[in-house]
Amino acid sequence: MRHSLLPAALLPVLLAACGGGGSPTTPPPGTGQGSALTTRLGACAVVNQSADPAASSCLTGAYTGKTLSGAECSLTVRADGGYDYVSPTLTYTFTATAQATRVFGHNSIEGSHQVIWLINDPMTANEPKELNFEARWGANIAAPKLEIEAMKHLNGGGSVSSTCNVPL
């Protein structure tokens, strides 16, 4: 029988991860939603204005925030590039097609990051939709933010839009 012993230095980490060892009930600073999002977004490939659907695959997941009026809003990005946007004034599902226009970019300069994702399908016959996703954070960013603007063009003219701000 083979036995292995964990180094004593790892024991407090394992106890905290398992809820033992008196771990705090609130997360320590820098471990909230913003930290997890900036870690995930920071892992995106550094590219400039890529139209390749694979470039934006790092955005897959859920984003929850508040509209400008303080109401809850969310964006769920699927692996196929489609997404679901939900807010009190605008809720829709977008399924990416081969004709969808996509632009993805991630710039990382001196500890500051900017991630953008623009996607729309102007050829959709039934109420074309647009999404603008922009995140900025890091050493030289005074006000880190993730702002998501969703828009649906209505048949017969006009549009409905919503802005969702996600804490970083």
pLDDT of residue 125: 62
Residue 18 lies in a domain: no
Cβ neighbour number for residue 8 with a 10 Å cutoff: 7
Residue 90 lies in a domain: yes
Cβ pair 138, 120 in contact under 8 A: no
- Count of domains for the chain: 1
**CA–CA gap between residue 133 and residue 61 (Å, rounded):** 13
Residue 127 lies in a domain: yes
**CA–CA gap between residue 87 and residue 66 (Å, rounded):** 9
Q: Which domain holds residue 35?
A: 29-166
Report DSSP letters for 48-97, one per residue. SSB--GGGGGGG-EEEEEEETTS-EEEEEE-TTS-EEEE-SS-EEEE---
What global pTM score does this model have? 0.77
Cβ neighbour number for residue 99 with a 10 Å cutoff: 9
Residue 22 lies in a domain: no
Q: Among residues 66, 64, 99, 62, which one has the least CA distance to residue 79? A: 62
Residue 20 lies in a domain: no
| Per-residue model confidence as pLDDT tens digits over 27-71 | 333 334 568 899 999 999 999 999 988 899 999 999 999 999 999
Residue 34 lies in a domain: yes
Residue 15 lies in a domain: no
| Per-residue model confidence as pLDDT tens digits over 71-107 | 999 999 998 889 999 999 999 999 988 888 999 999 9
pLDDT of residue 11: 29
Q: How many CA atoms lie within 13 A of 95 on its CB side?
A: 1
Residue 150 lies in a domain: yes
Name the phi and psi angles at 76, rounded to 5: -120, 115
